[in-house]
Structure 1
Amino acid sequence: MMTQITEEQIARAEADAAAAISTRTDAEAALAEQPYSETRAKALTAAVQHAAHLTAYAGRLRSEWEERTAAAKEDRSVLEKAAAKQINQADKELKASKGSVVEAAAAAQQAVVRLMDAVVAHDALVRSHGPVLAGLGLTFNEGQPEYETGSSRSGVKVRGQWWTQVEAGVVAGWLLHRVAEARLPRMNALVGALRPCRKTVDGRPDGLFAGVESPAKVEFPRPPRVEFPRMESPVLGRAARR
């Protein structure tokens, strides 16, 4: 079986070779200072041999890796030519699918933008009518009877219908939660993360979004239930046998 050669191995071997060459250069300089030193001559000999060994090893690794890479590319080219029909089909279908995804994302984004703008405008309208009704003496104070029309801290009531501010960010979370709950598996983290937004909007007293139908739900298969064998405690087991 052929041993795999990686680019990391080659880089490490070349770095070791470069370090050995640097050591050889230092040994050459040291011997030049004391040309008659036997110790420094031996050190230079060892450094030269070590640098030559590591340089040759790094060169062999790179050469073999390049040969294998070229052979693999040639083999791959043969495989790709044999699979040309399937590759062309995949290329065509995936590019078409990308266009559909991008188009749907752009449409969804624009729809959410319109929703956000509508919510912001609705909140501004609620805020504008509160002071008007309050200026006419139509307010709700603590302990007073519930009138048909009036203004309070939480919003305005007009002919029995409560109107309160929505907050665009909460609505965006509510909308995404409804979609995620209907179209993603139950254990998806997005469903749990956005649940507070869902509760906030669904529990509104004015029922502002009550007429919005939920998206069609996808039924996903339930994951298989894992049964773990019962493990008897050694201590309890000995006590039961006594």
Structure 2
Amino acid sequence: MAVQITEMQVRQAEARADEADQAKDQAARRLEAAPYSDVVALEHSEAARTAAQQRANAREIRKAFEEQQEEERRRVSRPELEKAAATQIRQAGRDMAARRKVLVEAAEVAQAALVALLDAGTAYNEGVAEHVGVLSAAGLDFGGGDSGGEQTVLGVDRLKVKGQEFDPLDAGAVAVWLLRRVITARLSPHHALGSAFQWVAMELEQGQPDLVRSVSSPLAKQFPEPLRWRMPQVD
């Protein structure tokens, strides 16, 4: 439970601040009378510090008291405010329920599309491995002509068919690459996830250039120009 501040506490804090100000003024007059006294100067410095602390404390208590009163007024008038805004509240409820429904449906579609994408990536890699096995068994290695297949010493399949190369891919990286493209096109070119996924996207673009070229770019929204800090001109 929050501590309740009373008006008496506010008055007492302000009275202490006034007393500290008076003590500071008295110390200032003594310093004027004895400007070369180290003791008087120290007393004046201490009185000034105390006065500043007491005045700042009084201001904080006064501010907290006024905010407390304002909150109490809002709490008392809340039922009347909600009654007056009943139509807007009902409209907000209906509108947000409809928007939530659209959001959930879109999320379901996107999730199903991701499942299809990952399954397609798995099937693609299986196809690469299958044809590498068939062509290498037929005596067609990867580097000897337009068509062939091999598995590297690291276990990576390499397939070439009529001069076109097919390399295994990480379907998860494809999903991340697509997500980054859509985020930067529809939310913001400077979105934090755009930077977070940058290296994954770059690696995929370098490793699967044919795939990247074959997928159309999402329609980009028009965003306002970012604010640019400029050095002030000196005449």
Tell me if both proteins adopt one fold, taking TM over 0.5 as the criterion: yes
Q: Measure, in 2, the Cα distance between the counterparts of 1:222 and 1:127.
A: 48
Deviation readout 1:95-131 (Å, 9 max, x if unpaired): 1100001110111011011100110111111112212
Deviation readout 1:121-150 (Å, 9 max, x if unpaired): 111111122122111110135xxx5x1101
Query: Which residue of 1 is the match for residue 226 of structure 2?
Result: 223
Pairing 1:41-56 to 2, within 5 Å after superposition: none
Calculate the TM-score normalised by the size of structure 2: 0.63
Q: Measure, in 2, the Cα distance between the counterparts of 1:131 and 1:206.
A: 24
Query: Which residue of 1 is the match for residue 149 of structure 2?
Result: 151
Deviation readout 1:149-184 (Å, 9 max, x if unpaired): 011335111122211111111111111111112112
Q: Measure, in 2, the Cα distance between the counterparts of 1:83 and 1:208.
A: 54
Q: 1:133 aligns with which of 112, 132, 135?
A: 135
Query: Which residue of 1 is the match for residue 3 of structure 2?
Result: 9
Pairing 1:179-190 to 2, within 5 Å after superposition: 179-190=182-193
Q: Measure, in 1, the Cα distance between the counterparts of 2:226 and 2:163.
A: 48
Q: Measure, in 1, the Cα distance between the counterparts of 2:93 and 2:131.
A: 57
Query: Which residue of 1 is the match for residue 106 of structure 2?
Result: 104
Is residue 200 of structure 2 the alignment partner of residue 197 of structure 1? yes
Count of residue pairs brought into register by the alignment: 166
Task: Please tell me the residue identity of whatever aligns with 2:93.
Answer: D
Task: Please tell me the residue identity of whatever aligns with 1:193.
Answer: A
Change (3 A) 1:72 1:122: same
Change (3 A) 1:88 1:131: same
Contact 1:150 1:158 in 2 (8 A): yes
- Structure 2 residues without counterparts, runs of 5 or longer: 5-67
Task: Please tell me the residue identity of whatever aligns with 1:108.
Answer: A
Calculate the TM-score normalised by the size of structure 1: 0.61
Q: Measure, in 1, the Cα distance between the counterparts of 2:182 and 2:201.
A: 11
Task: Please tell me the residue identity of whatever aligns with 2:171.
Answer: A
Pairing 1:48-127 to 2, within 5 Å after superposition: 72-127=74-129
SS in 1 for 2:3: helix
Q: Measure, in 2, the Cα distance between the counterparts of 1:209 and 1:121.
A: 18
Task: Please tell me the residue identity of whatever aligns with 2:149.
Answer: S
- Structure 1 residues without counterparts, runs of 5 or longer: 1-6, 11-64, 232-242
| Identity across matched positions, percent | 36
Q: Measure, in 1, the Cα distance between the counterparts of 2:203 and 2:196.
A: 13
Task: Please tell me the residue identity of whatever aligns with 1:163.
Answer: F
Contact 1:162 1:205 in 2 (8 A): no
Q: Measure, in 2, the Cα distance between the counterparts of 1:125 and 1:207.
A: 17
Q: Measure, in 2, the Cα distance between the counterparts of 1:75 and 1:125.
A: 70
Task: Please tell me the residue identity of whatever aligns with 2:225.
Answer: R
Task: Please tell me the residue identity of whatever aligns with 1:88.
Answer: R
SS in 2 for 1:166: coil
Contact 2:146 2:163 in 1 (8 A): yes
Task: Please tell me the residue identity of whatever aligns with 1:216.
Answer: L
Q: Measure, in 2, the Cα distance between the counterparts of 1:112 and 1:203.
A: 22
Query: Which residue of 2 is the match for residue 59 of structure 1?
Result: none
Contact 1:140 1:150 in 2 (8 A): yes
What is the aligned-residue RMSD (CA, Å)? 2.5
Q: Measure, in 2, the Cα distance between the counterparts of 1:100 and 1:86.
A: 21
Contact 1:119 1:168 in 2 (8 A): yes
